[in-house]
Amino acid sequence: MELICCLALKYDALACNYLIPLARHPLVSKLWIVRHKKPEVAEIPKSEYRLAPERCKWLRWAHMYRECRALARRPEVAGVVSFNPVPYGLIAHQAAYPLGKKTHFGFIGSDWYRACQGPLRSVLLPCLRRGDFFTATGEAMKNEMVQAGFPAGRIAVLPHAVDVERLGVSDATQMKYRAIFVGQLIERKRVDILLRAYALTLKRFPGERFCIVGDGPLGPRLEQLAVELGLRGHVDFIGAAPDPAVYMRQAEVVTMASDMEGFPFALVEGLCVGLVPVSTAVGTIAELIRDGENGFLIPQNDPEALSDRLCRLIEDRGLYARMRAAAAQMRAMFSYDRATAVWDSWLCSLQSN
């Protein structure tokens, strides 16, 4: 069968990590990917693109609707797969549903918490509940979806899959950075909290270095804050990187201070590389990170707590080694094969229709 995949996903690696497991499924013969560009980091098998313009979102959305509508007329197309359901999933649903095609809505984290629990909740939820299959980042999100009226039998937890073999495992003896952050430089990521925690850590361990990988509107402000906190020469701002794992393999700890997440790919890649996570317990993070065992969970807006955990890992190398080993044992949970299996029931139902 053929599927239409309508999505944005700012980073190419995310698109690959969601679509490669789907493309590997034996029932899928082709993916028609409706997006603004082709990924540069990896090739998605069985795929063909219908590219939309980037310059104007209204023009892009209209173009994507037309492409989805035209593709949905193909008899080989059985359904639509979407990530970023608002607006891309809804665009594809409106284009394909009248032609009898089934729809998947995949929530990746902030899209659920921002769009579906925000001020437009009463408008968006009835539209989204018309889907035929839904994926969530964890059991907590799934339970919230059920409480919001989504049918429990049509919701599956889709693990954030990565190419674990490509990522490799860091060499603890070649550490360049004590801690790393990977993600967008936007408000909800609270990179300012990370910088304050790094500065507190530096007071106790003056030789430490840290790394920030990612870009966003807060970039210049955060670089200025780093200077004000005395972090000049101790924090490298890398910017957007095609392969953040290159920098992850040079670090010991992956840090997150977000106010809102699902289960971020930065933590997934960090765990698979062998980094110890230190993160706020938002979204579904606490389902996989067990405080004091395979990482540390910290309160929100608390740079002192984050710094304390970093200092403990620096001081107690036995603790660090035990946590690193426990984190590395989770690699199999995030394999492409495990994510591919999540699609079985829905794809089999499409084949039988």
For 73, which DSSP code? T
pLDDT averaged per 10 residues in sequence order, the chain, 353 residues: 89 84 96 89 90 88 96 96 92 95 90 77 90 92 93 92 81 85 95 98 96 96 97 96 88 95 86 94 88 95 98 96 90 88 94 78
Alpha-carbon gap, residue 175 to 84, rounded angstroms: 36
Instruction: Please indicate, yes or no, whether the overall pTM of this predicted structure exceeds 0.85.
Output: no
Kindly report each contact of residues 281-287 with a partner whose C-beta sits within 8 Å and lies 24 or more positions away, as own/partner: 282/258, 283/109, 283/113, 283/137, 283/138, 283/140, 283/141, 284/136, 284/137, 284/138, 284/139, 284/140, 284/141, 285/256, 285/261, 286/140, 287/138, 287/139, 287/140, 287/263
* Architecture of the domain spanning 2-160+336-352: 3-Layer(aba) Sandwich (3.40)
- Please report, rounded to a whole number, the percentage of residues in the chain having pLDDT higher than 90: 69
Position of tokens 């490509």? 166
Interior/surface letters 124-158, b for 16+ CB within 10 angstroms, e for the rest: bbeebeebbbbbbbbebbbebbeeeebeeebbbbb
Return the domain boundaries, the chain: 2-160+336-352, 164-334
The string of DSSP codes covering 183-208 is S--SGGG-HHHHHHHHHHHHHHSTT-
What is the third-level CATH fold of 164-334? Rossmann fold (3.40.50)
For 62-98, write each residue's pLDDT tens digit: 999 999 999 999 999 999 999 889 899 999 999 999 9
* pLDDT computed for residue 329 by the predictor: 85
Shared fold status for 2-160+336-352 and 164-334 = yes
Among 109, 104, 103, 117, CA closest to 138: 109
Helix %, strand %, coil % of the chain (to 5): 45, 20, 35
Per-residue tokens: 238: 């890398």
Nearest 5°: the CA angle 133, 138, 143 is: 70
Res 56: pLDDT: 86
Give the CA-trace dihedral at 322, 327, 329, 331, to 10 degrees.
-160
**Taking a C-beta distance cutoff of 8 angstroms, is the pair 273, 177 a contact?**
no
pLDDT of residue 162: 87
Q: In this structure, what are the phi and psi dihedrals at residue 72, rounded to the nearest 5 degrees?
A: -65, -20
Let me know the angle formed at the C-alpha of 292 by 291 and 295, rounded to the nearest 5 degrees: 70
Per the CB < 8 A criterion, the answer to whether 157 and 138 are in contact is yes
322 touches 4 (CB < 8 A) = no
User: 265-273 vs 12-23: helix axis angle to the nearest 10?
Assistant: 80
DSSP helix/strand/coil, 232? coil
